[in-house]
Amino acid sequence: MKRRIGLVGAIALGLGLITAGTAEAAPRAADTPQATDTIYAPQDFVEALSDTRATGHYEVEGTGLRIWTDGTPSSASTNKVAEYVATSTPLARVGEPSLDYTGTTGTTPPGFQLVVDFDGNGTRDGILVGERVYNGDWWVNGAAAGFVKAGAPVTGGGSGTQWHGTLDQWRANFPAANVVAFGFSLGSGVQGDGVLDAINFAGTRYTFAETVTLESKNECKNGGWATSTDPVFRNQGECVSSFARTKD
């Protein structure tokens, strides 16, 4: 299915970037998502939320996304790949999100990231991080709003930060919470290489494809207009017309 997942980019305007710490893969949900969709990279990633640093990289491989870091231990702070896709989904409806990941080097898989507006007022307040090592216990990042930390299901050690709990517990404590972006993070400081085969979120399994942008009106012909993802055209005529100003 070709559609612009990242069109809700307005969430990224005028709001400070919230960062999360080292992350690992979230547990797989017990039920298999029924719907499928495609994330076009980098088109569908919210630029203002991106935290892919100097020695962190990603590229589409088949229907997966290879993510890797190649910095030395001395450049650990730049070893990070983190990207997000815009959404507007109540936390109550996201289920138990998970990542399908095949690692090739390194021992730490990426973690699931949920950028959340906890009080439903349109402002993102923190990032919930799901790491495999914590077995379904999701922690909120240290830069989260004070009221989020104060309302955390559990306060104390034993997770990525001292503010944590299961998603069901977070949902109970913040019934108005809305997820404004979902994504992944490998790092920071992690040295690793692997393929993110899919993101499972709110009943949909997302795989990956490269962004396709046509470069001339001739590429619109013979069905070429239908391959464009940035922008998406309704027909060949609309595609050809888009190049009228360039006189190509």
> Is residue 198 packed enough to be buried (19+ CB in 10 Å), middle (13-18) or exposed (0-12)?
buried
- Give me the pLDDT at residue 105, please: 83
* Residue-level pLDDT at 32: 52
Could you report the per-residue pLDDT of 52-100, keeping only the tens digit for each?
999 999 999 999 999 999 988 777 899 999 999 999 999 999 999 999 9
Q: Which of 152, 98, 99 is nearest to 125 (CA)?
A: 152
Q: What is the pLDDT of residue 158?
A: 83
Strands (E), the chain: 35-41, 56-61, 64-69, 81-90, 98-105, 111-117, 126-130, 138-140, 154-155, 163-165, 178-186, 193-201, 204-210
Q: What is the pLDDT of residues 124-170, one digit of tens each?
A: 999 999 999 999 999 999 999 999 999 999 999 889 999 999 999 99
**What's the one-letter identity of residue 30?**
A
Q: Does pLDDT of 22 surpass 50?
A: no
Looking at residue 248, its pLDDT comes to 44
- What is the pTM for the complete model shown? 0.82
